[in-house]
């Protein structure tokens, strides 16, 4: 039995991954095994279009009663034909103490747990977005979801910077990396010149108006991320 757990918390950088095998995997299964089913009213949606934590993505091998891939958030197991409560509803707290996450810095485990609580409130208040029937921004790139969303190699090796630049590099692209001038810290002062080195144009007065050529890109730095 094996588990691969991705902490879905970042956007521009690769998410932390924990791989568990052997006896530890057996103990992990006892925490993740379905305890009791949830009704449609009890199961809150998992909004993915949010910065910060979006749940644990769990890939399992040899785990009975669990699909190959599913998500865990606040005690809920969400996946194909799966919507029960897990045996350990505090599984995220258990994962926060794993040695793989501690390597990301002393502050990361506490940051992770704060994000878990933020996402809990986000789930309670979530309302499915009403997407426009047609694209209103004339300067936006072509809407080609099949070009990006393959639920595999393409989709999971891209990030918001790839999408913003409308460029598939098959890597987690970073501002300035292609130009040999990658940012040195996650601050606006460092990320802005790095993006400019990639030929993005600094236009602080654009005021969300379409340019005559190209399209708008907004760069966001998540505090603490």
pLDDT digits (tens, 9 = 90+) for 133-144: 665 677 888 888
> 124 or 87: whose pLDDT is higher?
87
Domain ranges of the chain: 2-125, 134-225
The whole-number pLDDT of residue 214 equals: 87
The whole-number pLDDT of residue 186 equals: 84
> 221 or 177: whose pLDDT is higher?
177
Q: Is 15 left (phi over 0), alpha (psi -120 to 50) or beta?
A: beta
pLDDT digits (tens, 9 = 90+) for 194-212: 999 999 999 888 888 888 8
Is 83 in contact with 77 (CB distance < 8 Å)? yes
Q: Is the pLDDT of residue 58 over 60?
A: yes
Range scoring the smallest mean pLDDT among 73-77, 98-102, 124-128: 124-128
Sign of the CA dihedral with 74 first, then 80, 86, and 91 last: negative
Separation CA 48–CA 43 (nearest Å)? 15
Q: Give bridge partners of residue 77 from the DSSP assignment.
A: 72
pLDDT digits (tens, 9 = 90+) for 15-48: 999 999 999 999 999 999 999 888 877 888 888 6
Q: Is the pLDDT of residue 6 over 80?
A: yes
Say how many C-beta atoms besides its own lie within 10 A of residue 182's C-beta: 15
The whole-number pLDDT of residue 224 equals: 54
Instruction: Find the radius of gyration of the CA atoms of the chain.
Output: 20
Is 91 in contact with 76 (CB distance < 8 Å)? no
pLDDT-above-70 percentage for the chain: 94
The number of residues in the chain equals: 225
Query: Does the model's pTM come out above 0.75?
Result: yes
| Tokens describing residue 104 | 């990301």
pLDDT-above-90 percentage for the chain: 49
The whole-number pLDDT of residue 223 equals: 59
Q: What DSSP state is assigned to residue 60? A: E
Give the model's confidence band at 175: pLDDT under 50 very low, under 70 low, under 90 confident, else very high. Answer: very high
Q: Is the pLDDT of residue 155 over 80?
A: yes
Is 38 in contact with 83 (CB distance < 8 Å)? yes
Is 158 in contact with 168 (CB distance < 8 Å)? yes
Is 123 in contact with 47 (CB distance < 8 Å)? yes
The whole-number pLDDT of residue 109 equals: 92
Sign of the CA dihedral with 205 first, then 206, 207, and 212 last: positive
Is 225 in contact with 53 (CB distance < 8 Å)? no
């Amino acid at each position: 039995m094996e588990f691969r757990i991705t902490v879905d918390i970042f956007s521009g950088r690769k998410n932390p991954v924990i791989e568990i095998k052997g006896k530890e995997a057996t103990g992990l299964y006892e925490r993740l095994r379905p305890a009791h089913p949830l009704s449609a009213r009890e199961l809150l949606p998992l909004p993915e279009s949010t910065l910060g934590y979006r749940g644990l993505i769990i890939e399992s091998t040899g785990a009975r009663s669990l699909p190959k891939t599913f998500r865990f958030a606040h005690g809920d197991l969400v996946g194909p034909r799966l919507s029960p409560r897990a045996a350990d509803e505090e599984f995220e707290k258990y994962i926060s103490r794993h040695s793989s996450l501690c390597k990301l810095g002393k502050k990361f485990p506490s940051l992770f747990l704060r994000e878990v609580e933020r996402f809990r409130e986000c789930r309670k208040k979530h309302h499915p977005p009403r997407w426009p029937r047609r694209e209103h921004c004339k300067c936006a790139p072509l809407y080609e979801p099949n070009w990006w969303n393959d639920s595999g190699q393409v989709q999971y090796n891209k990030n918001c910077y790839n999408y913003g630049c409308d460029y598939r590099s098959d890597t987690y692209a970073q501002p300035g990396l292609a130009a040999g001038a990658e940012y040195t810290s996650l601050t606006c002062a460092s990320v802005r010149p790095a993006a400019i080195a990639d030929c993005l144009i600094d236009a602080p007065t654009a005021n969300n108006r379409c340019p005559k050529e190209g399209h708008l890109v907004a760069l966001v730095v998540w505090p603490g991320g």
